[in-house]
Chain A
Amino acid sequence: MCGIALTAECIYFVSDPHGLYPLLEATENNDIYAAAWIGIFVGFALFALSILGIIGIIKSDRTLLLVYIILMLITFAFEMASCITAATHRDFFTPNLFLKQMLEKYQKTEPANDNDKWMIEGVTKTWNKLMLQNHCCGVLGPSDWQEYTSAFRDTHNDADYPWPRQCCAMNAQGIPINLDGCKLGVPGYYNSNGCYDAISGPVNTHAWGVAWFGFAILCWTFCVLLGTMFYWSGIEY
């Protein structure tokens, strides 16, 4: 049962409902996704092995139970790796990481190579969607665009574009309500809060979900395996 639950949870995370995967891919630190993929397969393996274990206990077969214990140990090790990976790499997601990535990649016009081009497209599309849907601007605020020079600043001059157009408050047609108000920073005509909460919320849920749920399953698996070992050593030939 635990196995199925783990598989379901990890499939949910891998499907990336919030569309933040391109940002993580561009940081070249998408190991929490690797952790989720491992979680899918481990969950399925746990489910299959539990059927094997139940059969072994019903038949009281020593060989079958030994195979079960060894395979479960391997699965345990994989799940342990997945949990530790998710927990460790979640620590890397500071606001500064996303800030640097946004400044260097958003709307950059001269990609260094194909991989860079792929990452630039991903980052640009993700940020545009983020800023429009969550009514936010930049990582910590629109001042990010003013305090730092960026790839965006290289192609858009400060007088016309102090920040991207997506930071302006939009009407129903997707056009800024008042462009001058947006450029000057008149309250109500631009998005004044940062997008970090909208990014870190789902990413944290993902990482902690994989890590802690896996941890809980492993604790339970530990007890089950100890019990199985005692039972195995008690079986007479």
Chain B
Amino acid sequence: MCSSWVVVLFCCLGQLCADQSLKPQIAAPEFAMNNPTLTTVALEKPFCVFDSSLHPNKSYLIYLYAMQESASAMSSLVADGSSRPLDSTFQQTNGGQLGPYKAAAFHVPSCASPPRLVDAGDVSKVSDVLKQYLFRVGDDGTCLYDPNFLDVCNPPLAPDTTYRFKYVLIDSTEGIVKDQTLWSDPIKTRRVKLPSQVDTWPGRRSGAMIVITSILSVLLFLLLAGILAAVSLAVMRPEGPSAETRCSPQTTQPSDPRPQLGSE
């Protein structure tokens, strides 16, 4: 009871009413499948988040701040004492390691007519749907090295690092912070493995290969045995006719004395 009154008091005093329940969300996974990648994160734009703080006759901008999670211990403030937004860049904060940096500035997305994700199937509408629905942190690979670049630079993030994001509502005429979301949940960029870690060992031999090898080896062996048998039979057989000529004199001899016995 007491603590909630204290929070409301601080909120009203500082005019920095942080929305208790809304944080930047990552873009819908079924819509943008490649997210987060090695160096980019696609976030949903803040639809209907700041509507309670908007006045109809004033113009507003939304700033997106990004920082590495390790920096939250050092400094996570996006505004100075007089509610002016921090103008830090990627280079100044060492890629978000020293504190939050401004990654983007865009108009407040329309709450009344949000983009329909089903329209993404239509080739002519998909660019608009993507532009209105999400913002890709880390999209611009060249702005860091272009000396003529004057806009807000959104360079690629570091791989395998946890980042946190925050949307801030700015009144463009006065240039002061009107509202901000909480810091998002930690979002980690991908981590890569080396191709040398890919294991190319084929595993055990397939059954078919074993069958082919074994049966063919047996067949070849049988053929060789067969040819040897046939050749050895052929070599032994020439002795056959000489054995018959030896037998024949024996068969004729006993037949000779018999006619003599018969005649006596």
Contacts and interface: CB of A to CB of B under 8 A. Distances in A.
B39 interface: yes
A44 interface: no
Interface stretch (B16-24, B75-83, B168-176, B213-221): B213-221
Contacts of B136: 180, 183-184
Nearest to B194: A149
Interface string B197-241: 111101101101100110111011011101100100110000000
A34 interface: no
Interface stretch (B52-60, B85-93, B121-129, B243-251): B121-129
Interface stretch (B3-11, B28-36, B64-72, B108-116): B28-36
Contact of A188 (B121, B159, B227): B121
B37 A162 contact: yes
Given A88-B209, A184-B136, A100 B33 contact: no
B212 A211 contact: yes
A186 to B, nearest CB: 6
A158 B40 contact: yes
A187 B33 contact: yes
Nearest to A161: B141
B227 A150 contact: no
A173 B140 CA distance: 26
A56 interface: no
Nearest to A187: B33
Contact of B39 (A77, A148, A159): A159
A229 B232 CA distance: 12
A20 interface: no
A211 to B, nearest CB: 6
Interface string B151-185: 00000100100000000000000000000000000
Interface string A146-189: 11111001000111101000000000000001101101111111
A211 B208 contact: yes
Contacts of B200: 94, 96-97, 100
Interface string A74-87: 00110010011001
B193 interface: yes
B257 interface: no
A149 B33 contact: no
B45 to A, nearest CB: 14
B130 interface: yes
Give the size category of B's interface with A: 35 or more
Given A87-B209, A192-B33, A76 B220 contact: yes
A205 to B, nearest CB: 14
A104 interface: yes
A107 to B, nearest CB: 13
B226 A229 contact: yes
B136 to A, nearest CB: 7
Given A94-B203, A157-B156, A181 B220 contact: no
B120 interface: yes
A229 B141 CA distance: 77
B139 interface: yes
Interface in A171-227: 177-178, 180-181, 183-190, 192, 208, 211-212, 215, 218-219, 222, 225-226
Contacts of A13: none
Interface in A32-84: 69-70, 73, 76-77, 80, 83-84
Given A90-B209, A183-B34, A222-B223, 20 more contacts: A73-B224, A76-B223, A77-B220, A87-B213, A90-B206, A100-B198, A147-B190, A148-B192, A148-B198, A157-B141, A158-B40, A159-B138, A162-B38, A178-B130, A184-B130, A184-B134, A185-B33, A211-B212, A230-B230, A233-B234
23 contacts: A69-B227, A70-B227, A80-B216, A87-B208, A87-B212, A87-B213, A90-B209, A91-B206, A146-B190, A146-B192, A147-B193, A148-B198, A157-B141, A159-B40, A159-B140, A162-B38, A162-B40, A178-B123, A178-B130, A183-B136, A185-B35, A188-B120, A226-B226
Leading 4 A-B pairs by shortest Cβ distance: A185-B34, A185-B33, A103-B195, A87-B209
Interface of B: 27, 30-35, 37-40, 42, 120-121, 123, 126-127, 130, 134, 136, 138-141, 156, 159, 190, 192-200, 202-203, 205-206, 208-209, 212-213, 215-217, 219-220, 222-224, 226-227, 230, 233-234
